Homo-oligomer: A and B are copies of this chain.
Amino acid sequence: MAETYNPRRTAVLLVDPYNDFISEGGKAWPRLEPVAKEVGLLDNLRSVVTSARQGGVRVMFVPHRRWEPGDYETWAYPNPTQQSIRTRHSFARGTWGGEFHPDFQPQAEDIVIHEHWAQSGFTNTDLDLQLKQHGISHVVAVGVLANTCVESTSRIAMELGYHVTLVRDATAAYLPEMMHAAHELNGPTFAHSIVTTAEVVAAFEEARSGAA
């Protein structure tokens, strides 16, 4: 089902586009690579972001906490992923792995949200505030991982009253069955729309013409 988007009320949420996740040589890239290549993740992310900017749809970066020395050391209950980050130093601040992929650098019109500590880009951050202050009612969540940060951010977006679109080939996960869970099992219970990159790009181009 085709969605239409009012560009002034829509934002792309670009989740965790770190080198450690989506660049050759990144710490998590080997685990992500099979699914990422199968769906065409990088090309599709480029298409979504480019067509969003051309259509006047605001792009918001939703970045994970960049690891720093001391992180989680004094916490009572770090989650399994955070415990792993303590060892692996994923997205370490000041390192290449903790930089955004070169093709996904914030532009002047973009908003960079405060770093999230766990999976949800909303919880403990200013994402809801920035969406409200920019008049956004519709969010299109892309980036990684499909079943963790993208899914938790999208689940909460729905809880908070936003219209939520998932893009099944502008995200990736460690296993194909995680993609299946995100888009066939769980997504249909909370997302208002689950589309392909081609569909969302077409909708953004339509929005652009409509606005012209």
**Chain A residues close to B by CB (< 8 Å):** 74-81, 114-115, 117-120, 123-126, 128-129, 131-135, 137, 147-148, 151-152, 155-156, 158-164, 175, 177-178, 180-181, 185-186, 188-192
Contacts and interface: CB of A to CB of B under 8 A. Distances in A.
B76 A156 contact: no
B178 A128 contact: no
Nearest to A125: B124
A86 to B, nearest CB: 13
13 contacts: A74-B134, A77-B133, A79-B189, A114-B126, A118-B190, A119-B155, A119-B159, A120-B155, A123-B159, A129-B160, A132-B161, A181-B181, A181-B185
B114 A81 contact: no
A114 to B, nearest CB: 5
Contacts of A156: 120, 123, 156
B129 A189 contact: no
B126 A162 contact: no
Given A77-B163, A114-B124, A162-B132, A189 B155 contact: no
B186 A77 contact: no
Nearest to A123: B159
A154 to B, nearest CB: 11
B135 A124 contact: no
Contacts of A125: 114, 124-126
Nearest to A186: B147
B77 A192 contact: yes
A198 B191 CA distance: 35
Q: Which of A75, A132, A148 gathers the greatest number of chain B CB atoms within 10 Å?
A: A132
Contacts of A135: 76, 137
Contacts of A158: 77, 79, 118-119
Given A74-B134, A124-B129, A128-B124, A152 B159 contact: yes
Given A81-B190, A177-B185, A185-B181, A159 B120 contact: yes
